[in-house]
Amino acid sequence: MEREKRNDTSFPGKRSFTFGGYGGVDSFTCVDETRPESAEDNILDTLDSPPRDKQSFPSASSNQRDTELFEIIEKLQGSRIDEQRCAFPLPLKLLRIGGDLPLILSPKLGGYWIDPPLERLADVSPPSSQHGLDPQSYDIMERDGEAKIYHEIFSSRYHHSFTAVDPSLGPLVLSVCLEEEESKLRVILRMKECSLHAVFSVSLFPSIPSAVELAKMLCERVTVSKFEVVSYLKAPELITTFDEHRVSPNFKFGILYQKNRQFTEEDILSNTEESEEFKELLSLLGETVRLQGFSGFRGGLDVCHGQTGSEAVFTSFHGREIMFHVATKLPFTEGDPQQLQRKRHIGNDIVALVYQEGPTPFLSDVIKSHFLHCFLVVRRTQGPEETGGAAYQVSVTAREDVPPFGPVLPDPPIFTDSSLLREFLLTKLINAEISCYKAQRFSRLERAIRVRSHSFETLGVPRKLGGSASPKPKTDKEGDGDKSPGHLSADSSGSAELKDQASPQEET
């Protein structure tokens, strides 16, 4: 007994069971402290074994001994079944495409598209010539010109807004402004996929057109029969706020650094060191600048007190200023696995670039954010000797409601020219953000306007205001029979729902 206790305290012990003709023999075996524990060792260690002083098998009855033996076997078997039910580590589930792991994998629940699709990645070696490597085709998508028109014209004038949900086009927001001095109707129709703008002469209409008629004049695919009048007084502020990204010429993007075998958000956001290859990509994208006293577009970073780090990456590209939120340059907080200081900026970006150092794929939904809609993933690979042996493979993933955007990835998606890669990545990042704003967020804007308009009406305020409007110096009181352009109807019948107009001051 004393020797057994001595062995128990002097050596790391592992409980093992030898099954023979006489039942189970409980023993301890000495193991090397440096040997890694196996999964089976862990299972055995976690068994809920009876206390040591009650494990005297020779003195127990045969039935009790058999019962305890079968209980042990059942626990072992049950643990191994549970082990088989566990999800295997991610690398074991990956399908190798052409001998290499893909840059991006879709989440289990889907909801993202990937370009190029996995089935197109059978061969990603850079050939002598590639389809799609034409910088002349790298066109930057124009900012929403309708947003600029609304900001410059509509927001400063009295105008009406209407909302509807079309079965095929989705949410619609129609804004109509009367330019009395020129006898013209200026109309903007916002849809999920685009915005349309037109100016109509009032003389074209024998009577005041309805909101449905105006919408169909801009887009023949509109099928709704009725628009709801927006009566929420602050609707213009909501629309203007939504349009801010479309009016500004500046952009901000996140940059994430993913090392080999990093699968989680916590792992990726915890990196503090930058490899030479990663620094090379950063220098390709822009210039590393000191934030203290920086006078350019800062993208929400602190340029006075150093609370967002001391450096950042900045560039000017075709008249646009771009600030990059580089995760490794943002403050690192010890003891914070979520790295909220870093996620506060990158999680509020719309688009982020991921640099992969190693063959570990990036999961489309690994970074939890309501704002991040698109990721460009770049991985350094072996290229031809004449280019110095360096090449970059690129892939793109975005939420399924984000429309496709250019420039088109080359086939195969490999870049060996660093200047061409820079042109492609910056153009793709800008177009990605513009395209992302055509996604679900527009639906939320339409819903916010519609819900708040309904709440405004439930306050018991008379329904006099025909939509969202800015203050008008003089309010005209018209009779019921007057159907001037200031009294737009919301349905397709042409009947005027709005009899009298009142300025916001009168409503409140």
User: pLDDT tens-digit profile of 395-410?
Assistant: 999 999 898 999 999 9
Residue 335 lies in a domain: yes
Say whether both 362 and 402 belong to one domain. yes
Say whether both 269 and 398 belong to one domain. yes
Say whether both 297 and 218 belong to one domain. no
Say whether both 263 and 345 belong to one domain. yes
Say whether both 329 and 181 belong to one domain. no
How high is the pLDDT of residue 67? 67
User: pLDDT tens-digit profile of 231-252?
Assistant: 888 888 888 777 766 667 899 9
How high is the pLDDT of residue 150? 81
Last residue within a domain, chosen from 444, 459, 494: 444
Instruction: For tokens 């004393």, name the residue.
Output: 2
Residue 455 lies in a domain: no
Pair type for strands 228-229 and 195-201 = unpaired
How high is the pLDDT of residue 438? 75
How high is the pLDDT of residue 139? 87
Report the pLDDT averaged over residues 182-190: 88
User: Structurally, how many domains does the chain consist of?
Assistant: 2
Residue 393 lies in a domain: yes
Sheet strands (E) in 302-458: 311-317, 320-326, 351-357, 362-363, 374-382, 390-399, 414-415
Say whether both 440 and 406 belong to one domain. yes
Question: Over pLDDT 70: what percentage of the chain?
Answer: 61
The pTM assigned to this predicted structure is: 0.60
Residue 497 lies in a domain: no
**Paired tokens of 203:** 């003389």
Say whether both 168 and 316 belong to one domain. no
Say whether both 182 and 266 belong to one domain. no
**202: domain CATH number?**
3.30.1120.160
Say whether both 238 and 314 belong to one domain. no
Last residue within a domain, chosen from 428, 444, 460: 444
Say whether both 220 and 355 belong to one domain. no
Last residue within a domain, chosen from 411, 444, 477: 444
Residue type, 209: P
What's the whole-number average pLDDT of the chain? 74
Residue 423 lies in a domain: yes
Which residue segment(s) compose the domain that 306 sits in? 104-118+248-444
Residues 6+ apart with CB under 8 A from 442: 171, 190, 191, 192, 242
Residue 437 lies in a domain: yes
Please, what is the Cα angle at 135 between 143 and 106, to 5 degrees?
A: 70
**254: domain CATH number?**
3.40.50.11210
Say whether both 175 and 209 belong to one domain. yes
Residue 22 lies in a domain: no
Say whether both 235 and 345 belong to one domain. no
